[in-house]
């Protein structure tokens, strides 16, 4: 997802596109990988753009709700990345830099068969390790 799509999504859901919200979107749009709340705070502080915790966390949750960000837990910390809007896929995630690579394989069709009486709401398939650059 790019910034414009994200802003549209905000407006569609009745939320304002404020300066702070755009700053946060810019950060994730340029990241191309998983980042923590702390990463974001550091980034905003560097550009002399003091942001209240309230604003950070409120918007991270909001973005997750409306589908702008997706989230996962890496090494005990919550991480966020821009949501992928195209076809269904999964990710390799680098433990060092947080960058991701798309994985096309998804075994859910096979799995569903063996869970006949179960109600399936979601699934997670992630591969962890080091990307070529971080090795």
Q: Per CB under 8 A, which of residues 72..131 are in contact with its own copies?
A: 73, 76, 78, 92, 95, 101, 103-108, 110-111, 114-115, 117-131
Chain centroid to Cα 99, Å, comes to 11
Asked if 63 and 1 touch (Cβ cutoff 8 Å), the reply is no
User: Which residues, in sequence order, are CB contacts of 91 under 8 Å at separation 6+?
Assistant: 100, 101, 102, 103, 126, 127
Binding flags for DNA, 81-120, as an x/- string (CB under 7 A): ----------------------------------------
Q: How many CB atoms lie within 10 A of CB 41?
A: 15
- Residue 129: name its binding partner from DNA, its own copies, none (Cβ under 5 to 8 Å by kind): its own copies
User: Interface residues with its own copies (CB under 8 A)?
Assistant: 73, 76, 78, 92, 95, 101, 103-108, 110-111, 114-115, 117-132, 135
């Amino acid at each position: 997802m790019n910034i414009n799509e994200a802003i549209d999504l905000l407006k569609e859901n009745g939320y304002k596109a404020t300066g702070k919200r755009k700053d946060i979107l810019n950060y994730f749009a340029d990241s191309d990988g998983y980042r923590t709340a702390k990463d974001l705070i550091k980034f905003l502080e560097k550009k002399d753009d003091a942001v209240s915790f309230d604003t950070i966390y409120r918007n991270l949750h909001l973005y997750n709700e409306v589908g702008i960000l997706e989230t996962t837990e890496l090494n005990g910390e919550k991480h966020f990345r821009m949501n992928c809007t195209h076809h269904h896929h999964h990710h390799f995630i680098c433990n060092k830099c947080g960058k991701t690579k798309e994985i096309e394989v998804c075994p859910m069709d096979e799995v569903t068969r063996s869970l006949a009486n179960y109600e399936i709401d979601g699934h997670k398939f992630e591969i962890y390790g080091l990307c070529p650059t971080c090795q």
